[in-house]
Amino acid sequence: MLQKVTGEVYAIVGELDNRTADNLGNNATFGFVVTAEGVVLIDSGGTYQGAQEIEQLIKTVTDKPVVTVINTGGQDHRWLGNGYYKELGAQIIASEDAVNDQKARTQDQFIMLGNLIGDKGMKGTDAVYAEITFKEKLELELGDTTFMIYHVGQAHTPGDSFIWLPREKVMFTGDIVYVDRMLGVGTQSNSKS
Protein backbone atom coordinates (compact mmCIF):
# COMPACT_ATOMS: atom_id res chain seq x y z
CA MET A 1 0.00 0.00 0.00
CA LEU A 2 1.41 3.38 -1.05
CA GLN A 3 1.16 6.25 1.46
CA LYS A 4 2.28 9.83 0.95
CA VAL A 5 4.18 10.99 4.04
CA THR A 6 4.91 14.61 3.13
CA GLY A 7 6.02 16.53 0.04
CA GLU A 8 7.89 14.05 -2.16
CA VAL A 9 8.36 11.43 0.58
CA TYR A 10 6.41 8.15 0.38
CA ALA A 11 6.04 4.93 2.35
CA ILE A 12 5.22 1.55 0.87
CA VAL A 13 3.61 -0.58 3.56
CA GLY A 14 4.02 -4.26 2.75
CA GLU A 15 2.15 -7.27 4.06
CA LEU A 16 1.90 -7.58 7.83
CA ASP A 17 1.98 -11.39 7.56
CA ASN A 18 4.91 -13.63 6.72
CA ARG A 19 6.66 -13.76 3.36
CA THR A 20 4.58 -15.62 0.76
CA ALA A 21 4.53 -16.35 -2.96
CA ASP A 22 1.90 -13.62 -3.30
CA ASN A 23 3.98 -10.86 -1.64
CA LEU A 24 7.33 -12.04 -3.11
CA GLY A 25 9.07 -11.45 0.22
CA ASN A 26 7.90 -7.83 0.52
CA ASN A 27 6.51 -7.97 4.06
CA ALA A 28 8.13 -4.80 5.36
CA THR A 29 7.69 -1.06 5.11
CA PHE A 30 9.83 0.53 2.42
CA GLY A 31 10.13 4.17 1.40
CA PHE A 32 11.19 6.45 -1.38
CA VAL A 33 11.92 10.11 -1.96
CA VAL A 34 11.52 11.86 -5.30
CA THR A 35 14.34 14.34 -5.82
CA ALA A 36 15.26 16.59 -8.74
CA GLU A 37 17.96 14.06 -9.71
CA GLY A 38 15.89 10.91 -9.40
CA VAL A 39 14.35 8.60 -6.81
CA VAL A 40 16.08 7.41 -3.66
CA LEU A 41 14.61 4.09 -2.53
CA ILE A 42 14.84 2.96 1.07
CA ASP A 43 15.27 -0.84 0.88
CA SER A 44 14.96 -2.80 -2.34
CA GLY A 45 12.53 -5.57 -1.42
CA GLY A 46 12.77 -9.28 -0.74
CA THR A 47 13.34 -10.57 -4.26
CA TYR A 48 14.08 -9.47 -7.82
CA GLN A 49 10.36 -9.70 -8.64
CA GLY A 50 9.45 -7.96 -5.40
CA ALA A 51 11.75 -5.11 -6.44
CA GLN A 52 9.88 -4.90 -9.76
CA GLU A 53 6.60 -4.52 -7.84
CA ILE A 54 8.09 -1.71 -5.76
CA GLU A 55 9.20 0.05 -8.93
CA GLN A 56 5.67 -0.23 -10.35
CA LEU A 57 4.33 1.59 -7.26
CA ILE A 58 7.00 4.28 -7.65
CA LYS A 59 5.94 4.76 -11.28
CA THR A 60 2.42 5.67 -10.13
CA VAL A 61 4.02 8.77 -8.55
CA THR A 62 6.87 9.73 -10.90
CA ASP A 63 8.56 8.73 -14.13
CA LYS A 64 11.99 9.54 -12.65
CA PRO A 65 14.30 6.52 -12.29
CA VAL A 66 15.54 5.02 -9.05
CA VAL A 67 19.13 6.29 -8.91
CA THR A 68 20.05 5.29 -5.36
CA VAL A 69 19.01 2.44 -3.06
CA ILE A 70 19.80 2.55 0.65
CA ASN A 71 19.71 -0.80 2.45
CA THR A 72 18.82 -0.21 6.10
CA GLY A 73 20.04 -3.61 7.24
CA GLY A 74 20.80 -7.24 6.59
CA GLN A 75 17.32 -8.74 6.66
CA ASP A 76 16.37 -10.31 3.31
CA HIS A 77 13.55 -7.90 2.47
CA ARG A 78 15.94 -4.97 2.95
CA TRP A 79 18.41 -6.00 0.23
CA LEU A 80 17.64 -9.04 -1.92
CA GLY A 81 15.99 -6.80 -4.55
CA ASN A 82 19.30 -4.95 -5.10
CA GLY A 83 20.08 -6.85 -8.31
CA TYR A 84 17.02 -5.44 -10.04
CA TYR A 85 17.97 -1.84 -9.31
CA LYS A 86 21.65 -2.43 -10.04
CA GLU A 87 20.62 -3.59 -13.54
CA LEU A 88 18.80 -0.25 -13.92
CA GLY A 89 21.99 1.63 -12.99
CA ALA A 90 21.21 2.59 -9.39
CA GLN A 91 23.97 2.93 -6.81
CA ILE A 92 23.52 0.80 -3.69
CA ILE A 93 24.45 2.09 -0.20
CA ALA A 94 24.60 0.22 3.12
CA SER A 95 26.61 0.20 6.32
CA GLU A 96 29.72 -1.98 6.37
CA ASP A 97 28.13 -4.08 9.11
CA ALA A 98 24.99 -4.59 7.01
CA VAL A 99 27.01 -5.87 4.05
CA ASN A 100 29.02 -8.17 6.31
CA ASP A 101 25.78 -9.52 7.80
CA GLN A 102 24.23 -9.96 4.35
CA LYS A 103 27.27 -11.93 3.19
CA ALA A 104 27.31 -14.08 6.33
CA ARG A 105 23.62 -15.00 6.06
CA THR A 106 23.06 -15.05 2.27
CA GLN A 107 22.75 -18.82 1.96
CA ASP A 108 20.43 -19.11 4.97
CA GLN A 109 18.25 -16.28 3.70
CA PHE A 110 17.97 -17.83 0.23
CA ILE A 111 16.99 -21.20 1.72
CA MET A 112 14.41 -19.72 4.11
CA LEU A 113 12.94 -17.35 1.53
CA GLY A 114 12.84 -20.08 -1.12
CA ASN A 115 10.91 -22.32 1.27
CA LEU A 116 8.39 -19.55 1.93
CA ILE A 117 7.82 -18.19 -1.59
CA GLY A 118 9.00 -21.00 -3.85
CA ASP A 119 11.43 -21.22 -6.76
CA LYS A 120 9.13 -19.25 -9.08
CA GLY A 121 9.09 -16.28 -6.67
CA MET A 122 12.87 -16.42 -6.30
CA LYS A 123 13.51 -16.31 -10.06
CA GLY A 124 16.08 -13.64 -10.96
CA THR A 125 17.10 -13.00 -7.34
CA ASP A 126 20.86 -12.83 -6.80
CA ALA A 127 23.01 -11.61 -3.92
CA VAL A 128 24.05 -8.09 -4.93
CA TYR A 129 25.78 -6.11 -2.20
CA ALA A 130 26.21 -2.36 -1.78
CA GLU A 131 29.22 -0.85 -3.51
CA ILE A 132 29.10 2.26 -1.31
CA THR A 133 29.55 1.50 2.37
CA PHE A 134 30.11 3.51 5.53
CA LYS A 135 31.03 2.76 9.12
CA GLU A 136 28.84 5.06 11.26
CA LYS A 137 27.49 7.95 9.20
CA LEU A 138 27.05 8.99 5.59
CA GLU A 139 25.55 12.20 4.23
CA LEU A 140 24.04 12.07 0.76
CA GLU A 141 22.91 15.15 -1.16
CA LEU A 142 20.65 14.48 -4.11
CA GLY A 143 18.90 17.37 -5.78
CA ASP A 144 17.69 19.57 -2.95
CA THR A 145 17.34 16.67 -0.50
CA THR A 146 19.77 15.73 2.25
CA PHE A 147 19.86 12.14 3.50
CA MET A 148 21.68 11.58 6.81
CA ILE A 149 22.32 7.84 7.16
CA TYR A 150 23.34 6.59 10.59
CA HIS A 151 24.49 3.19 11.83
CA VAL A 152 24.68 3.40 15.61
CA GLY A 153 24.82 -0.28 16.52
CA GLN A 154 23.13 -3.63 16.27
CA ALA A 155 19.34 -3.85 16.50
CA HIS A 156 17.31 -6.45 14.55
CA THR A 157 20.46 -7.11 12.51
CA PRO A 158 24.09 -6.06 13.10
CA GLY A 159 24.10 -3.40 10.38
CA ASP A 160 20.78 -1.66 10.96
CA SER A 161 20.70 2.02 9.98
CA PHE A 162 18.20 4.83 10.03
CA ILE A 163 17.86 7.67 7.54
CA TRP A 164 17.03 11.22 8.64
CA LEU A 165 15.77 13.84 6.18
CA PRO A 166 16.37 17.10 8.09
CA ARG A 167 14.42 19.48 5.86
CA GLU A 168 11.40 17.16 5.65
CA LYS A 169 11.71 16.08 9.31
CA VAL A 170 11.15 12.44 8.30
CA MET A 171 13.00 9.38 9.54
CA PHE A 172 13.10 5.95 7.93
CA THR A 173 13.89 3.37 10.63
CA GLY A 174 14.07 0.08 8.71
CA ASP A 175 14.06 -2.78 11.20
CA ILE A 176 15.00 -0.63 14.20
CA VAL A 177 11.41 0.39 15.00
CA TYR A 178 8.45 -1.94 14.48
CA VAL A 179 4.81 -0.89 14.20
CA ASP A 180 1.98 -3.38 13.65
CA ARG A 181 4.47 -6.24 13.16
CA MET A 182 5.88 -8.83 15.53
CA LEU A 183 9.61 -8.37 15.99
CA GLY A 184 11.55 -11.48 15.04
CA VAL A 185 14.50 -11.81 17.41
CA GLY A 186 17.22 -14.15 16.17
CA THR A 187 20.86 -14.86 16.84
CA GLN A 188 21.75 -11.80 14.70
CA SER A 189 19.56 -9.50 16.84
CA ASN A 190 20.20 -7.29 19.86
CA SER A 191 16.90 -6.23 21.41
CA LYS A 192 18.65 -4.42 24.29
CA SER A 193 20.18 -1.62 22.20
Indicate whether 184 pLDDT > 80. no
Between CA 187 and CA 180 the distance in angstroms is 22
**CA–CA distances in Å: residue 192 to residues 28, 106, 154, 155, 168:** 22, 25, 9, 8, 29
Strands 132-134 and 162-165: unpaired
Cα three-residue angle 159-160-164, rounded to 5 degrees: 130
Indicate whether 23 pLDDT > 60. yes
- Segment 94-104 shows an average pLDDT of 96
Q: Tell me if residue 131 falls in helix, strand or coil.
A: coil
Give the pLDDT confidence score for residue 180 in this predicted structure: 58
Spell out the domains of the chain, with CATH numbers in brackets: 2-172 (3.60.15.10)
Model confidence at 178, pLDDT cuts 50, 70, 90, reads low
Indicate whether 191 pLDDT > 80. no
Indicate whether 102 pLDDT > 70. yes
More confident residue, 192 or 72: 72
Q: In what order do the strands lie in the sheet with 91-95?
A: 2-6, 9-13, 29-35, 38-42, 66-70, 91-95, 132-134
Model confidence at 15, pLDDT cuts 50, 70, 90, reads confident
For 46-97, what is each residue's pLDDT tens digit?
999 999 999 999 999 999 999 999 999 998 999 999 999 999 999 999 999 9
C-alpha closest to that of 171 among 62, 76, 42, 79: 42
> Distance of alpha carbon 81 from its chain centroid, rounded?
8
